Protein backbone atom coordinates (compact mmCIF):
# COMPACT_ATOMS: atom_id res chain seq x y z
CA UNK A 1 0.00 0.00 0.00
CA UNK A 2 1.39 3.37 -1.06
CA UNK A 3 0.82 6.51 0.95
CA UNK A 4 1.32 10.15 0.12
CA UNK A 5 4.46 11.17 2.01
CA UNK A 6 3.30 14.79 2.18
CA UNK A 7 -0.17 14.09 3.52
CA UNK A 8 0.72 13.83 7.19
CA UNK A 9 3.01 16.86 7.18
CA UNK A 10 0.74 19.21 5.28
CA UNK A 11 -2.59 18.39 6.91
CA UNK A 12 -2.77 19.82 10.42
CA UNK A 13 -6.41 19.04 11.14
CA UNK A 14 -5.79 15.47 12.25
CA UNK A 15 -2.94 16.52 14.55
CA UNK A 16 -5.18 19.08 16.26
CA UNK A 17 -7.67 16.28 16.91
CA UNK A 18 -4.99 14.46 18.88
CA UNK A 19 -4.46 17.33 21.33
CA UNK A 20 -5.94 17.12 24.80
CA UNK A 21 -8.64 19.65 25.57
CA UNK A 22 -6.12 21.35 27.89
CA UNK A 23 -3.67 21.90 25.02
CA UNK A 24 -6.09 22.82 22.26
CA UNK A 25 -6.27 26.53 23.06
CA UNK A 26 -2.95 27.22 24.70
CA UNK A 27 -1.42 30.66 24.07
CA UNK A 28 1.96 31.00 22.41
CA UNK A 29 5.01 30.14 24.49
CA UNK A 30 6.97 32.96 26.09
CA UNK A 31 9.78 34.37 23.96
CA UNK A 32 12.47 35.63 26.32
CA UNK A 33 15.03 36.47 23.67
CA UNK A 34 13.56 39.89 22.92
CA UNK A 35 13.75 41.95 19.75
CA UNK A 36 17.18 43.19 18.61
CA UNK A 37 17.87 46.79 19.54
CA UNK A 38 14.93 47.03 21.96
CA UNK A 39 15.55 47.93 25.61
CA UNK A 40 13.50 45.32 27.43
CA UNK A 41 11.96 45.70 30.88
CA UNK A 42 9.79 42.71 30.07
CA UNK A 43 11.23 39.57 31.63
CA UNK A 44 12.62 39.07 35.14
CA UNK A 45 15.82 37.37 34.04
CA UNK A 46 18.87 37.46 36.31
CA UNK A 47 21.88 39.61 35.47
CA UNK A 48 24.10 37.51 33.20
CA UNK A 49 27.27 39.32 34.22
CA UNK A 50 26.63 38.18 37.79
CA UNK A 51 26.85 34.46 37.03
CA UNK A 52 29.90 32.97 38.82
CA UNK A 53 31.05 31.13 35.73
CA UNK A 54 34.67 30.57 36.76
CA UNK A 55 33.68 29.34 40.22
CA UNK A 56 31.06 26.98 38.76
CA UNK A 57 33.69 25.63 36.35
CA UNK A 58 35.96 24.97 39.31
CA UNK A 59 33.13 23.29 41.22
CA UNK A 60 32.40 21.11 38.17
CA UNK A 61 36.02 20.00 38.01
CA UNK A 62 35.98 19.18 41.73
CA UNK A 63 32.80 17.10 41.42
CA UNK A 64 34.18 15.21 38.41
CA UNK A 65 37.36 14.52 40.33
CA UNK A 66 35.86 13.51 43.65
CA UNK A 67 32.36 12.11 43.00
CA UNK A 68 31.61 11.62 39.30
CA UNK A 69 29.37 8.59 39.82
CA UNK A 70 26.53 10.25 41.79
CA UNK A 71 26.68 13.34 39.58
CA UNK A 72 26.32 11.37 36.35
CA UNK A 73 23.80 8.77 37.52
CA UNK A 74 20.04 8.89 38.04
CA UNK A 75 18.94 10.00 41.48
CA UNK A 76 18.37 12.95 43.77
CA UNK A 77 21.28 15.36 44.31
CA UNK A 78 21.74 14.42 47.96
CA UNK A 79 24.52 16.96 48.66
CA UNK A 80 22.17 19.76 47.59
CA UNK A 81 19.42 18.50 49.87
CA UNK A 82 21.89 18.39 52.75
CA UNK A 83 22.99 21.94 51.97
CA UNK A 84 19.36 23.14 51.99
CA UNK A 85 18.68 21.50 55.36
CA UNK A 86 21.72 23.27 56.80
CA UNK A 87 21.03 26.64 55.12
CA UNK A 88 17.35 26.78 56.07
CA UNK A 89 18.22 25.82 59.62
CA UNK A 90 20.68 28.69 59.87
CA UNK A 91 18.55 31.23 58.01
CA UNK A 92 15.09 30.43 59.37
CA UNK A 93 15.69 28.30 62.43
CA UNK A 94 13.65 25.44 61.00
CA UNK A 95 14.67 21.96 62.11
CA UNK A 96 14.32 19.88 58.96
CA UNK A 97 15.49 16.64 57.45
CA UNK A 98 15.87 15.78 53.79
CA UNK A 99 12.37 14.24 53.99
CA UNK A 100 11.00 17.79 54.20
CA UNK A 101 12.52 18.73 50.83
CA UNK A 102 12.42 17.80 47.17
CA UNK A 103 14.70 19.23 44.47
CA UNK A 104 12.81 20.32 41.35
CA UNK A 105 13.50 21.77 37.91
CA UNK A 106 13.25 25.33 39.13
CA UNK A 107 10.33 26.50 41.23
CA UNK A 108 8.08 26.32 38.17
CA UNK A 109 8.14 22.52 38.25
CA UNK A 110 7.31 22.71 41.95
CA UNK A 111 4.17 24.73 41.16
CA UNK A 112 3.15 22.19 38.54
CA UNK A 113 3.70 19.27 40.89
CA UNK A 114 1.57 20.91 43.57
CA UNK A 115 -1.22 21.23 41.02
CA UNK A 116 -0.87 17.54 40.16
CA UNK A 117 -1.05 16.72 43.85
CA UNK A 118 -4.01 18.89 44.80
CA UNK A 119 -6.04 20.15 41.85
CA UNK A 120 -8.85 18.35 40.09
CA UNK A 121 -10.62 20.12 37.21
CA UNK A 122 -12.93 22.77 38.63
CA UNK A 123 -11.15 23.13 41.97
CA UNK A 124 -10.43 26.67 43.13
CA UNK A 125 -7.08 28.37 43.73
CA UNK A 126 -6.93 31.78 45.38
CA UNK A 127 -4.19 34.15 44.21
CA UNK A 128 -3.02 37.70 44.77
CA UNK A 129 -4.06 40.26 42.19
CA UNK A 130 -1.78 40.88 40.41
CA UNK A 131 0.50 37.85 40.61
CA UNK A 132 3.20 35.89 38.78
CA UNK A 133 1.98 35.33 35.23
CA UNK A 134 3.69 31.92 34.99
CA UNK A 135 1.80 30.69 38.05
CA UNK A 136 -1.52 31.81 36.58
CA UNK A 137 -0.79 29.84 33.41
CA UNK A 138 0.23 26.79 35.45
CA UNK A 139 -3.00 26.85 37.44
CA UNK A 140 -5.15 27.35 34.36
CA UNK A 141 -3.33 24.52 32.58
CA UNK A 142 -4.28 22.32 35.56
CA UNK A 143 -7.92 23.30 34.93
CA UNK A 144 -8.23 25.17 38.20
CA UNK A 145 -10.61 28.06 38.67
CA UNK A 146 -8.41 31.02 39.66
CA UNK A 147 -9.93 33.60 42.01
CA UNK A 148 -8.17 36.87 42.74
CA UNK A 149 -7.82 38.82 45.97
CA UNK A 150 -6.39 42.35 45.69
CA UNK A 151 -3.28 43.55 47.45
CA UNK A 152 -1.96 46.93 48.53
CA UNK A 153 1.50 48.23 49.38
CA UNK A 154 1.62 45.87 52.36
CA UNK A 155 0.51 42.73 50.55
CA UNK A 156 -2.68 40.71 50.18
CA UNK A 157 -5.79 42.11 51.87
CA UNK A 158 -6.61 39.65 54.64
CA UNK A 159 -10.27 40.51 55.23
CA UNK A 160 -11.01 40.14 51.52
CA UNK A 161 -9.09 36.85 51.45
CA UNK A 162 -11.18 35.51 54.33
CA UNK A 163 -14.45 36.67 52.76
CA UNK A 164 -13.53 35.26 49.35
CA UNK A 165 -12.89 31.79 50.73
CA UNK A 166 -15.98 32.00 52.95
CA UNK A 167 -18.14 32.82 49.93
CA UNK A 168 -16.62 30.11 47.77
CA UNK A 169 -17.12 27.42 50.40
CA UNK A 170 -20.69 28.61 51.05
CA UNK A 171 -21.34 28.10 47.33
CA UNK A 172 -20.03 24.54 47.56
CA UNK A 173 -16.70 25.26 45.85
CA UNK A 174 -13.56 23.35 46.77
CA UNK A 175 -10.69 25.72 47.57
CA UNK A 176 -7.41 23.83 47.50
CA UNK A 177 -4.79 26.43 48.27
CA UNK A 178 -3.81 30.09 48.56
CA UNK A 179 -0.90 31.02 46.30
CA UNK A 180 1.21 33.89 47.60
CA UNK A 181 4.56 35.55 46.93
CA UNK A 182 4.96 37.29 50.29
CA UNK A 183 8.48 38.64 49.82
CA UNK A 184 9.34 41.08 46.99
CA UNK A 185 6.20 40.03 45.20
CA UNK A 186 6.16 39.43 41.46
CA UNK A 187 5.02 41.72 39.84
CA UNK A 188 4.55 44.51 42.42
CA UNK A 189 7.68 44.11 44.55
CA UNK A 190 5.71 44.57 47.80
CA UNK A 191 6.46 42.55 50.94
CA UNK A 192 3.85 41.08 53.28
CA UNK A 193 4.40 42.30 56.84
CA UNK A 194 4.69 40.02 59.86
CA UNK A 195 1.19 40.64 61.22
CA UNK A 196 -0.41 40.01 57.83
CA UNK A 197 1.64 36.83 57.49
CA UNK A 198 0.25 35.60 60.78
CA UNK A 199 -3.25 36.66 59.74
CA UNK A 200 -2.94 34.83 56.40
CA UNK A 201 -2.00 31.64 58.24
CA UNK A 202 -4.97 32.15 60.56
CA UNK A 203 -7.29 32.35 57.55
CA UNK A 204 -5.77 29.18 56.10
CA UNK A 205 -6.26 27.38 59.41
CA UNK A 206 -9.84 28.63 59.74
CA UNK A 207 -10.78 27.31 56.31
CA UNK A 208 -8.39 24.32 56.31
CA UNK A 209 -6.76 25.20 53.01
CA UNK A 210 -3.08 24.94 52.18
CA UNK A 211 -0.77 27.87 51.48
CA UNK A 212 1.66 27.67 48.57
CA UNK A 213 4.46 30.13 49.38
CA UNK A 214 6.64 31.13 46.42
CA UNK A 215 9.92 32.67 47.59
CA UNK A 216 11.84 33.07 44.34
CA UNK A 217 13.72 36.20 45.44
CA UNK A 218 14.98 34.99 48.81
CA UNK A 219 18.03 36.88 49.99
CA UNK A 220 17.83 39.65 47.38
CA UNK A 221 17.09 42.38 49.92
CA UNK A 222 18.36 45.93 49.45
CA UNK A 223 17.66 47.47 52.84
CA UNK A 224 15.91 46.78 56.12
CA UNK A 225 14.66 43.36 57.14
CA UNK A 226 11.97 40.96 55.98
CA UNK A 227 9.75 38.80 58.21
CA UNK A 228 10.28 35.05 58.54
CA UNK A 229 8.87 32.75 55.90
CA UNK A 230 5.27 31.64 56.21
CA UNK A 231 6.71 28.13 56.45
CA UNK A 232 8.73 29.24 59.45
CA UNK A 233 5.66 30.75 61.15
CA UNK A 234 3.36 27.82 60.32
CA UNK A 235 2.30 25.75 63.33
CA UNK A 236 -0.29 23.62 61.55
CA UNK A 237 1.54 21.98 58.60
CA UNK A 238 -0.45 24.04 56.12
CA UNK A 239 2.44 25.58 54.12
CA UNK A 240 4.28 24.29 51.08
CA UNK A 241 7.30 26.49 50.37
CA UNK A 242 8.94 26.87 46.95
CA UNK A 243 12.47 28.18 46.46
CA UNK A 244 14.90 28.42 43.57
CA UNK A 245 18.56 28.82 42.73
CA UNK A 246 17.68 30.57 39.46
CA UNK A 247 17.85 34.09 40.87
CA UNK A 248 20.71 33.65 43.35
CA UNK A 249 23.09 31.39 41.38
CA UNK A 250 22.29 30.64 37.72
CA UNK A 251 18.96 30.15 35.99
CA UNK A 252 20.44 27.70 33.49
CA UNK A 253 21.11 25.17 36.24
CA UNK A 254 17.29 24.78 36.45
CA UNK A 255 17.33 23.96 40.14
CA UNK A 256 14.59 24.70 42.62
CA UNK A 257 13.02 22.99 45.56
CA UNK A 258 9.82 22.50 47.50
CA UNK A 259 9.56 22.06 51.24
CA UNK A 260 6.79 21.04 53.57
CA UNK A 261 5.44 18.22 55.72
CA UNK A 262 7.14 14.88 54.87
CA UNK A 263 3.81 13.19 54.13
CA UNK A 264 3.04 15.74 51.40
CA UNK A 265 6.59 15.88 50.06
CA UNK A 266 6.63 12.08 49.68
CA UNK A 267 3.44 12.22 47.62
CA UNK A 268 4.87 14.97 45.43
CA UNK A 269 8.02 12.89 44.96
CA UNK A 270 5.85 9.99 43.77
CA UNK A 271 4.44 12.26 41.04
CA UNK A 272 7.93 13.22 39.91
CA UNK A 273 8.92 10.47 37.49
CA UNK A 274 12.00 12.03 35.87
CA UNK A 275 14.65 9.91 37.56
CA UNK A 276 15.84 12.76 39.74
CA UNK A 277 16.30 16.45 39.01
CA UNK A 278 19.64 16.91 37.28
CA UNK A 279 22.02 15.24 39.72
CA UNK A 280 24.86 16.74 37.66
CA UNK A 281 23.73 20.34 38.17
CA UNK A 282 22.65 19.66 41.74
CA UNK A 283 26.00 18.26 42.79
CA UNK A 284 27.81 21.19 41.17
CA UNK A 285 25.56 23.71 42.92
CA UNK A 286 26.14 21.99 46.26
CA UNK A 287 29.89 21.98 45.71
CA UNK A 288 29.84 25.66 44.84
CA UNK A 289 27.61 26.57 47.81
CA UNK A 290 29.78 24.90 50.44
CA UNK A 291 31.87 26.94 52.90
CA UNK A 292 29.58 29.98 52.57
CA UNK A 293 30.41 30.76 48.96
CA UNK A 294 26.80 31.10 47.90
CA UNK A 295 25.98 33.42 50.78
CA UNK A 296 28.92 35.65 49.82
CA UNK A 297 27.72 35.65 46.23
CA UNK A 298 24.23 36.72 47.34
CA UNK A 299 25.75 39.73 49.10
CA UNK A 300 27.24 40.81 45.75
CA UNK A 301 23.90 40.30 44.02
CA UNK A 302 22.17 42.56 46.50
CA UNK A 303 24.39 45.44 45.51
CA UNK A 304 23.99 44.75 41.78
CA UNK A 305 20.20 44.72 41.93
CA UNK A 306 19.95 47.56 44.46
CA UNK A 307 21.84 49.78 42.04
CA UNK A 308 19.47 48.84 39.22
CA UNK A 309 16.43 49.40 41.44
CA UNK A 310 17.70 52.84 42.40
CA UNK A 311 18.42 53.78 38.79
CA UNK A 312 14.92 52.68 37.79
CA UNK A 313 13.24 54.67 40.56
CA UNK A 314 15.24 57.76 39.59
CA UNK A 315 14.23 57.35 35.94
CA UNK A 316 10.57 56.95 36.82
CA UNK A 317 10.71 60.10 38.91
CA UNK A 318 12.23 61.98 36.00
CA UNK A 319 10.22 60.70 33.03
CA UNK A 320 6.77 59.53 34.15
CA UNK A 321 3.79 61.84 33.66
CA UNK A 322 1.60 63.39 36.34
CA UNK A 323 -0.79 60.83 37.76
CA UNK A 324 1.62 57.89 37.46
CA UNK A 325 2.38 55.87 40.59
CA UNK A 326 4.86 53.10 41.25
CA UNK A 327 6.09 50.81 44.00
CA UNK A 328 9.48 51.10 45.71
CA UNK A 329 10.49 47.50 46.40
CA UNK A 330 12.71 46.51 49.28
CA UNK A 331 14.25 43.77 47.15
CA UNK A 332 13.70 41.47 44.18
CA UNK A 333 13.44 42.22 40.45
CA UNK A 334 10.27 44.26 39.80
CA UNK A 335 8.53 47.62 40.03
CA UNK A 336 4.79 47.98 39.39
CA UNK A 337 3.75 51.06 37.45
CA UNK A 338 0.19 52.44 37.47
CA UNK A 339 -0.66 54.97 34.76
CA UNK A 340 -3.72 57.19 34.23
CA UNK A 341 -6.88 55.12 33.84
CA UNK A 342 -7.51 56.05 30.20
CA UNK A 343 -4.32 54.35 29.00
CA UNK A 344 -4.32 50.79 27.67
CA UNK A 345 -0.83 49.32 28.07
CA UNK A 346 -1.64 46.31 25.88
CA UNK A 347 -2.53 48.55 22.94
CA UNK A 348 0.39 50.85 23.72
CA UNK A 349 2.96 48.02 23.60
CA UNK A 350 3.33 48.02 19.81
CA UNK A 351 4.10 51.75 19.86
CA UNK A 352 6.64 51.18 22.63
CA UNK A 353 8.46 48.38 20.79
CA UNK A 354 8.58 50.46 17.62
CA UNK A 355 10.12 53.27 19.68
CA UNK A 356 12.69 50.88 21.14
CA UNK A 357 11.42 49.76 24.56
CA UNK A 358 9.54 46.68 25.79
CA UNK A 359 7.60 45.88 28.97
CA UNK A 360 5.03 43.45 30.37
CA UNK A 361 1.49 44.88 30.23
CA UNK A 362 -0.20 44.55 33.59
CA UNK A 363 -3.15 42.43 32.38
CA UNK A 364 -0.73 39.53 31.83
CA UNK A 365 -0.39 39.37 35.62
CA UNK A 366 -4.12 38.99 36.29
CA UNK A 367 -6.16 35.86 35.71
CA UNK A 368 -9.06 38.23 34.97
CA UNK A 369 -6.92 40.28 32.56
CA UNK A 370 -7.79 43.53 34.31
CA UNK A 371 -5.24 46.24 35.10
CA UNK A 372 -5.12 47.66 31.57
CA UNK A 373 -3.40 50.83 32.79
CA UNK A 374 -0.56 49.00 34.57
CA UNK A 375 2.92 47.81 33.64
CA UNK A 376 5.39 45.42 35.21
CA UNK A 377 8.94 46.74 34.90
CA UNK A 378 11.72 44.20 35.38
CA UNK A 379 15.02 45.99 36.10
CA UNK A 380 17.06 42.85 36.81
CA UNK A 381 18.38 41.90 33.39
CA UNK A 382 19.15 45.26 31.80
CA UNK A 383 22.66 46.69 31.92
CA UNK A 384 22.43 49.58 34.34
CA UNK A 385 23.41 52.11 31.66
CA UNK A 386 20.32 51.17 29.57
CA UNK A 387 17.78 51.78 32.32
CA UNK A 388 17.65 55.58 32.11
CA UNK A 389 17.45 55.72 28.28
CA UNK A 390 14.78 53.03 28.32
CA UNK A 391 12.62 54.92 30.78
CA UNK A 392 13.06 58.12 28.80
CA UNK A 393 11.69 56.37 25.69
CA UNK A 394 8.87 54.81 27.71
CA UNK A 395 7.96 58.21 29.14
CA UNK A 396 7.79 59.67 25.65
CA UNK A 397 5.56 56.81 24.46
CA UNK A 398 3.23 57.22 27.44
CA UNK A 399 2.99 60.98 26.94
CA UNK A 400 2.31 60.53 23.22
CA UNK A 401 -0.52 58.10 23.96
CA UNK A 402 -1.97 60.33 26.65
CA UNK A 403 -1.98 63.26 24.23
CA UNK A 404 -3.57 61.17 21.48
CA UNK A 405 -6.33 60.05 23.80
CA UNK A 406 -7.00 63.47 25.32
Alpha-carbon gap, residue 337 to 10, rounded angstroms: 45
* Predicted local distance difference test score (pLDDT) of residue 252: 95
Q: Are residues 265 and 315 in the same domain?
A: no
Considering the domain architecture, whether residues 123 and 184 belong to the same structural domain is answered as: yes
Q: Has residue 23 been placed in a domain? A: no
Q: Are 56 and 281 in contact (CB under 8 A)?
A: no
> In 144-193, where does DSSP find H-type helix?
158-170
Answer yes or no: do 68 and 183 share one domain.
yes
Q: Are 286 and 80 in contact (CB under 8 A)?
A: yes
Has residue 25 been placed in a domain? no
Check which CATH number belongs to the domain holding 385 and give it. Answer: 3.90.1150.10
Per-residue model confidence (pLDDT) at position 167: 98
Is the domain of 282 the same as that of 321?
no
Residue 18 maps to a domain = no
Give DSSP secondary structure letters for 348-380: HHHHHHHHTEE-EEGGGG-TT---TTEEEEE-S
Q: What's residue 1's pLDDT?
A: 46
Residue 76 belongs to a domain with what CATH number?
A: 3.40.640.10
Number of DSSP helices (H) and strands (E) in the chain, helices first: 15, 14
Q: Which of 293, 326, 350 is the last residue of a domain?
A: 293
Other beta carbons within 10 Å of 18:
8
Same domain for 47 and 57, yes or no, is no
pLDDT score at 12: 54
- Residues of the chain below pLDDT 70: 1-36, 406
User: DSSP string of 287-330?
Assistant: HHHGGGHHHHHHHHHHHHHHHHHHHHHHHHHHHPPTT-EE---S
Would residue 16 count as lying in a domain? no
HSE of 206, CA atoms in CB hemisphere, 13 A = 15
**Residue 205: which domain range?**
53-293
Select from 278, 293, 308 the last residue of a domain: 293
Structural domain includes residue 216:
yes
Same domain for 120 and 209, yes or no, is yes
Q: Residue 132: which of 72, 234, 22, 217 has the closest Cα? A: 217
In a domain, 217, yes or no: yes
Same domain for 283 and 302, yes or no, is: no
In a domain, 269, yes or no: yes
Among residues 240, 260, 293, the one where a domain terminates is: 293
Q: What is residue 27's predicted lDDT score, i.e. its pLDDT?
A: 54
Q: Are residues 153 and 96 in the same domain?
A: yes
Convert the pLDDT of each residue in 295-304 to its tens digit.
999 999 999 9
Domain shared by 95 and 233, yes or no: yes
Q: Are 139 and 214 in the same domain?
A: yes
* DSSP 8-state class, residue 223: S
Angle at 311 between CA 309 and CA 313, to 5 degrees: 70
Domain count, the chain: 2
Look at residue 291 in the predicted model and tell me its pLDDT: 85
Query: Does 143 lie in the same domain as 115?
Result: yes
Amino acid sequence: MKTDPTASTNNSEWSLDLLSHRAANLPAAFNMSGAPGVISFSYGLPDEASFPAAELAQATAEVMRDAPGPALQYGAPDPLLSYLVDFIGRDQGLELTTKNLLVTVGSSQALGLVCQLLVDPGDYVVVEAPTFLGAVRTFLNAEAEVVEVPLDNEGILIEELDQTITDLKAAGKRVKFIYTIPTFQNPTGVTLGLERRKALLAVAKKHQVLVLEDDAYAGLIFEGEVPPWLWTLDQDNLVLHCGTFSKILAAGLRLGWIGGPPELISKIAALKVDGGTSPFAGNIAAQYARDGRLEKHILKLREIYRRKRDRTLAGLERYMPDGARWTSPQGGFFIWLELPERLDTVKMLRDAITAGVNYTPGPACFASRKGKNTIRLAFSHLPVEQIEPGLRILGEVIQRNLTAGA
